[in-house]
Amino acid sequence: MKSIFFIFLRIFGVKSKLELIPLNDLKKDGDRWVSYGADPSFLIHGEFGVGWNEMSWSSNSEERIPLKMYWDNGEDFNEGRSLIIGEISKGNSNTKTYLYIPDDAIAIRLDPGEKKLDFSFSNLKVKKVSRICVAVKALRNYSFQRGYGYRGIVSLIRKVLNAIKTSGIKSLWANAKQIMEYNSNSLVNDYSSWLENSIILEKEISQINDEIEAFEYKPLISIILPVYNIEEVWLRKCIDSVLAQYYSNWELCISDDASTKLHIAKVLENYKARDSRIKVVYRSENGHISKSSNSALAIATGEFIALLDHDDELTPDALYENVLLLNRFRDADIIYSDEDKISIEGERFSPFFKPDWSPDLLLSQMYICHLTVCRKCLIDQVEGFREGYEGSQDFDLMLRVTELTDNIYHIPKILYHWRAIQNSTASSGSSKDYTHIAGLKAVEDALARRKLPATVVSVEGHSNIYLTRFRPTSNPKISIIIPTKNMASVLKTCLDSIFTKTKYFNYEVIIIDNGSTEPEIFKLYKYWEKNEKERFKVYVLDIPFNYSKLNNFGAEKASGDLLLLLNNDTEVISEDWLQEMAGQAIRPEIGAVGACLYYPDKTLQHGGVVLGLGGVAGHSHKHFASDSSGYYRRLKIVSNYTAVTAACLMIRKEIFFEVNGLEEELQVAFNDVDFCLKVWSLGYNNLWLPHVKLYHYESKSRGYEDTPEKQLRFAGEIEWVKNRWSKILNNDPAYNPNLSKDREDFSIGIPSEIYENNLNIMRCKKENVHSNKVNI
């Protein structure tokens, strides 16, 4: 009968009203709800259908409140089965979103935030919808958010057909499902809403002008602009954006690369006559982008160089923000900002909110990109742009100049609009294949120049991103430390996968038994002691569970140069996991190295740790499909994160003891976050590797924080970490202050107003960074 009921709903579009039953920390006050604790939750009563549903509600609040849905599959509610589905928006709102209900769900819970507040939340309704319906709506959102409009639908259809041809229908559906989930809630992911809160008001412009007047340091910035046969409308908009700068001490150095379109010279001469700060050089023959950029550099006299493409635009505060930073940090040699794209209609979309300086991420992709401002003497030292790297000439330049300095700063603000027009890289990352080849060559050169034992390969199915693999040339011994207690079947899965799948030979497995009593576990120990005499060891530490103490004890027993902390509820997928992790861990500048962990359903469990998520820290891209690319393809490339999970973490033993191991005050939670922050604070870079894959049957052995005693201990550990690391928890340098602290999917958060703390943290980090300078 239930299936017939939902077929009826799907056909006729009838909505079923749901009842909100307060479950915890909630009470009704008139027509409003009041949460009086840190864990408010509703039980949802009503008819849900498995699969895709449209959910809608009305709400009112004085602040944005994330809505997190949990589903119970018979094993109670837990974080492993949860998802942010939307929000209670600030002010009055009517919200509609699409969500996927798994077929094993027997109950639904909804949590509005994690603090005391009051709000109205009513008219909660659900309607069963088809996958096609969700796909069409998601495709429309996806198209409009990227500025394609209806005209771009044909292009998207072509991409869909090409994806089916190259990757198959299953891969296409997995990615489409991710897009549906990512675009289903227009309020959370709506860049237009973010922009409305980011407008610079007239009074702010007056304040900016007063600040500029008071600057002690007003360097000349030379803006390099190579031009070739661009449409007049885009060229004028580009130059007008320079003329609109609040900061006036600039020069625009234009190089025309022998354009054949007659309007180019006319426009350039017109602007040159209007403003003496505009210089133009006309090349006698077309030499392409590198030669043309060097021609522009040749007439530049500024202390700093800013790079601008002939169809793009600067924001009016772009140069002001850079000089503001330079007045606070005179040592800054390279500065980069966030960016977005702009359509031919002037619609802004696809913001790229970047992390602070991430050297390994730069080996993976040209994430710095726009706007970049660099001290001219550094560019002169590397002799400018190189021929043969056209299309990725700026990537090659940044790889070379960043070898000369550690003074690299990031402004977490949108200061550059990248024009999305036909055949531009902004419109489609794959529209210029030669840029990918040039970028690959630039990374290969960087590895050779730095004399690093590494190779770089393209990432299948993706342009302009690369996977760099380091080889452990000395074959260091790796000590795999696994704390465990009873649950032989869980540990057996882990050990079987290690000993049968691992290609690397120089390792030992150290079991730290936490007081097992079940006969099956001792049988398992005997089996591996017999079959792996040299590599398998068991030590007993029968104490109340303390993850930190158990691992510290294991580290004392380890004979390896590298330690691998590994949960007993994991299973190896990648045969080359140890050599891949070891190759990174032995690098002198690297600290903790983390892996890509999946839930049993092959959705992502760990893609790196983001500080501040949920108050302390959370896993990035949680529950994303295994073949998803993530935010700006972060799930496909080696990335710097401030922390990684200790469920699978490799580090040099010397560093482990340098930071005094894991903090034993943190018995269960966040000891890995604290550990990684101690490592990071000494100047080491922590890494996450996308190609090292394991299953993690999360909390299978320990269980969840589901008793009053556990919750009290958990609350104490949260408070402990917040007290020690409060400053950086609010400003993760591997994240971006403009991204959400409520969601794990890198969706847009509240606009950054002041990033003073962020800059201070960058300063502290920079002073301890291990130098990677190259003599040129």
pLDDT tens profile 447-465: 999 999 999 999 988 889 9
**What are the residues facing 510 on neighbouring strands?**
481, 537
Which band of pLDDT confidence, cut at 50, 70 and 90, is reported for residue 183?
Answer: very low
Q: Which of 18-27, 260-269, 744-753 has the lowest mean pLDDT?
A: 744-753
Average pLDDT, integer, range 277-293:
95
- SS3 state at 611: strand
Tell me how far apart the alpha carbons of residues 246 and 251 are, in angstroms, rounded to a whole number. 13
Which pLDDT does position 189 carry in this prediction? Answer: 45
Mean pLDDT for the chain? Answer: 85
What does the pLDDT look like over 568-593, one tens digit per residue?
Answer: 999 999 999 999 999 999 999 999 99
What's the CATH fold of domain 2-191? Jelly Rolls (2.60.120)
Which band of pLDDT confidence, cut at 50, 70 and 90, is reported for residue 160?
Answer: low
Tell me how far apart the alpha carbons of residues 47 and 19 are, in angstroms, rounded to a whole number. 10
Which pLDDT does position 222 carry in this prediction? Answer: 98
Tell me how far apart the alpha carbons of residues 307 and 394 are, in angstroms, rounded to a whole number. 9
171 pLDDT above the threshold of 80: no
598 pLDDT above the threshold of 60: yes
331 pLDDT above the threshold of 70: yes
Q: How many residues does the chain have?
A: 776
Name which residue leads in pLDDT, 90 or 642.
Answer: 642
* Residue 441 burial (CB count, 10 A): 17
Place of tokens 């902390």: 565
Q: What is the DSSP secondary structure assignment for residue 739, as one 8-state letter? A: B
- Count CA atoms closer than 13 A to 701's CA, side-chain side: 26
Which band of pLDDT confidence, cut at 50, 70 and 90, is reported for residue 113?
Answer: confident
Average pLDDT, integer, range 71-95:
75
Which pLDDT does position 626 carry in this prediction? Answer: 87
Which band of pLDDT confidence, cut at 50, 70 and 90, is reported for residue 708?
Answer: confident
Q: What is the DSSP secondary structure assignment for residue 769, as one 8-state letter? A: P
6 pLDDT above the threshold of 60: no
Which pLDDT does position 29 carry in this prediction? Answer: 85
Which pLDDT does position 565 carry in this prediction? Answer: 98
Domain range annotation of the chain: 2-191, 216-428, 478-768
Average pLDDT, integer, range 160-185:
52
543 pLDDT above the threshold of 90: yes
Which pLDDT does position 736 carry in this prediction? Answer: 93
- Check residue 683 and give left, alpha or beta (phi > 0: left; psi -120 to 50: alpha): left
Name which residue leads in pLDDT, 238 or 186.
Answer: 238
Q: Is the peptide bond before 371 cis (omega within 30 degrees of 0)?
A: yes
Smallest Cα–Cα separation from 37: which of 110, 103, 116, 142? 116
- Check residue 335 and give left, alpha or beta (phi > 0: left; psi -120 to 50: alpha): beta
Which pLDDT does position 12 carry in this prediction? Answer: 45
Place of tokens 């998601």: 138
What's the CATH fold of domain 216-428? Spore Coat Polysaccharide Biosynthesis Protein SpsA; Chain A (3.90.550)
Which pLDDT does position 158 carry in this prediction? Answer: 61
Tell me how far apart the alpha carbons of residues 67 and 112 are, in angstroms, rounded to a whole number. 5
Average pLDDT, integer, range 385-412:
96
Average pLDDT, integer, range 307-328:
96
Which pLDDT does position 161 carry in this prediction? Answer: 62
Q: Which contiguous run of DSSP H or E holds residue 252?
A: strand 250-256
Determine the residue type at 355: P
Query: DSSP readout, 483-529?
Result: EE-S-HHHHHHHHHHHHHH----SEEEEEEE-----HHHHHHHHHHH
Which band of pLDDT confidence, cut at 50, 70 and 90, is reported for residue 755?
Answer: very low
Which pLDDT does position 712 carry in this prediction? Answer: 81
Which pLDDT does position 101 carry in this prediction? Answer: 80
**C-alpha torsion 627→629→630→636, nearest 10:** 100
Angle at 57 between CA 55 and CA 60, to 5 degrees: 150
267-275 long-range contacts, Cβ below 8 Å, gap at least 24?
Answer: 267/232, 267/235, 267/236, 267/239, 268/227, 271/239, 275/243
Which band of pLDDT confidence, cut at 50, 70 and 90, is reported for residue 408?
Answer: very high
Name which residue leads in pLDDT, 710 or 641.
Answer: 641
143 pLDDT above the threshold of 80: no
- SS3 state at 591: strand
510 pLDDT above the threshold of 70: yes
Angle at 737 between CA 675 and CA 57, to 5 degrees: 110
Which pLDDT does position 316 carry in this prediction? Answer: 96
Smallest Cα–Cα separation from 733: which of 680, 772, 773, 656? 680
701 pLDDT above the threshold of 70: no
Average pLDDT, integer, range 4-14:
47
What does the pLDDT look like over 610-669, one tens digit per residue?
Answer: 999 888 999 999 988 888 889 999 999 999 999 999 999 999 999 999 999 999 999 888
Which band of pLDDT confidence, cut at 50, 70 and 90, is reported for residue 201?
Answer: confident
Share of the chain above pLDDT 90, in %: 58
Which band of pLDDT confidence, cut at 50, 70 and 90, is reported for residue 8?
Answer: very low
216-428 and 478-768: identical CATH topology: yes
What does the pLDDT look like over 380-391, one tens digit per residue?
Answer: 999 999 999 999
Token couple for 367:
């994430």
Average pLDDT, integer, range 10-24:
72
Three-state SS sequence of 694-714: EEECCCCCCCCCCCHHHHHHH
Which band of pLDDT confidence, cut at 50, 70 and 90, is reported for residue 751?
Answer: low
CATH class of 478-768: alpha beta
117 pLDDT above the threshold of 70: yes
Which pLDDT does position 207 carry in this prediction? Answer: 92
Place of tokens 């890995």: 672
Phi, psi at residue 578, to the nearest 5°? -70, -45
**What are the residues facing 108 on neighbouring strands?**
44, 71
